[in-house]
């Protein structure tokens, strides 16, 4: 049985249709990567999953329970089982690393100061930043900030980790480091990892399975080897880097002259 199931999901914003008929199963403990061009709905998929956006039709299930359409109150215990590393994974500049990592613990968990310190220490260790509790966001590199944001997500001990563009904007060394970390944590912590990325190299390197979104549907899902072997021209264009720019980008480029 799948841990997470999108079934017949439809989603539009006004006249902009993002999902026509989204069907996707995500299995326990796999690393699944969602690929697709800019504006195809990758972030929207994650936001629907963690309840930040509603579906227009269809259902999302988690661990056998229908979670789409739940009230905020019904959803709260579900959300606690997932943690998301946001695309713009911002840290609070006014808080040091320890307090950034402790943020969700203080908000949502009933823990003593000692337990919080211990959980923060352990989480920073997982992301390869032991002993950095007293540093400040402005003194950290982009790659380190991402890792602190990841430690903040891990501190909640989630069963599902959602990563929105975890490697975007990082230099190649840090891209590799984050990619390795996603895989390592997936194994070590027995979590399910859903990774959204444009970056084909990362997708091919870390995934048990890859799903490609195009025009409101999942047009491919399979292993990295199956993706490499796909003869679907839309898949080939994407992996060879010839994907046509989406409408939003086209409009932007046109208006920029």
Ligand X SMILES: Nc1ncnc2c1ncn2[C@@H]1O[C@H](COP(=O)(O)OP(=O)(O)OP(=O)(O)O)[C@@H](O)[C@H]1O
Binding site for ligand X (CB under 6 A): 13, 16, 18, 36, 38-44, 198, 248
Closest of 79, 125, 117 to residue 99, by C-alpha: 117
- C-beta closer to ligand X: residue 16 or 106: 16
Reduced to 3 DSSP states, what percent helix, strand and coil does the chain have, rounded to the nearest 5? Answer: 40, 25, 35
Query: Residue 81, exposed/middle/buried by CB under 10 A (0-12, 13-18, 19+)?
Result: middle
Please report how close the Cβ of residue 43 comes to Mg ion at its closest, in angstroms.
3
Q: How far is the CB of 165 from ligand X (least distance, A)?
A: 6
Q: Coil, helix or strand for 238?
A: helix
Contacting range for Mg ion; rule: CB under 5 A; set: 2-10, 43-51, 66-74, 186-194: 43-51
How far is residue 204's CA from residue 130's CA, in Å, rounded to a whole number? 29
Q: Which residue has the tokens 């399975």?
A: 209
Q: Which stretch, 41-49, 145-153, 166-174, 229-237, contacts Mg ion (CB under 5 A)?
A: 41-49
Bridge-based pairing of strands 31-35 and 209-214 is: parallel
β 31-35/192-196 pair status = parallel
Indicate whether 202 belongs to the interface with Mg ion (CB under 5 A). no
Shortest Å, Cβ 108 to ligand X: 24
Q: Which does 115 bind (CB under 5 to 8 A by kind): Mg ion, ligand X, none?
A: none
214 to 253: interface string for Mg ion, x by CB under 5 A = ----------------------------------------
Match 């970390």 to its residue by tokens. 181
Closest CB 124 distance from ligand X, rounded Å: 28
43 binds Mg ion (CB under 5 A): yes
Residue 43 vs 192, nearer CB to Mg ion: 43
Our CB check for ligand X shows the closer of 43 and 202 to be 43
- 58 touches, from Mg ion, ligand X, none (C-beta below 5 to 8 Å by class): none
The nearer residue to Mg ion, 98 or 214, going by C-beta atoms, is 214
CB of 163 to ligand X, least distance (A): 12
**Cα–Cα distance between 225 and 90 in angstroms, integer?**
34
2 or 53: whose CB is closer to Mg ion? 53
Q: Which residues of 169-202 are buried (b: 16+ CB within 10 A; e: fewer)?
A: ebeeebbebbbebbbebbeeeebbbbbbbbbbeb
Shortest Å, Cβ 85 to ligand X: 14
Sign of CA dihedral 240, 246, 248, 252: positive
Q: Which residues bind Mg ion (CB under 5 A)?
A: 42-43
């Amino acid at each position: 049985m799948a841990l997470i199931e999108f079934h017949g999901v439809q989603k539009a914003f006004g006249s902009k249709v993002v999902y026509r008929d989204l069907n996707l199963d995500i299995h326990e403990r796999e690393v699944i990567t969602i690929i697709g061009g800019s504006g195809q709905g990758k972030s929207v998929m994650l936001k629907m999953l963690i309840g930040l956006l509603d579906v227009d039709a269809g259902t999302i299930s988690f661990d056998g329970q229908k979670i789409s359409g739940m009230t905020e109150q019904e959803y709260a215990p579900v959300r606690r089982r997932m943690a998301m590393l946001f695309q713009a994974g911002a840290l609070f500049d006014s808080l040091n690393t320890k307090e950034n990592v402790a943020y969700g613990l203080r908000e949502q968990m009933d823990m003593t100061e000692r337990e919080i310190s211990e959980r923060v220490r352990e989480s920073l260790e997982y992301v390869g930043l032991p002993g950095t509790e007293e540093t400040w966001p402005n003194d950290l590199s982009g790659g380190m900030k991402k890792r602190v944001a990841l430690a903040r997500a891990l501190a909640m001990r989630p069963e599902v980790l959602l990563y929105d563009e975890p490697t975007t904007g990082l230099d190649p060394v840090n891209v590799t480091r984050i990619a390795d970390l996603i895989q390592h944590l997936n194994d070590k912590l027995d979590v399910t990892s859903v990774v959204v990325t444009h970056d084909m190299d990362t997708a091919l390197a870390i995934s048990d399975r890859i799903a490609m979104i195009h025009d409101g549907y999942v047009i491919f899902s399979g292993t990295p080897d199956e993706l490499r072997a796909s003869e679907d021209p839309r898949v080939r264009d994407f992996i060879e880097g010839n994907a046509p720019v989406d409408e939003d980008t086209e409009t932007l480029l046109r208006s920029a002259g």
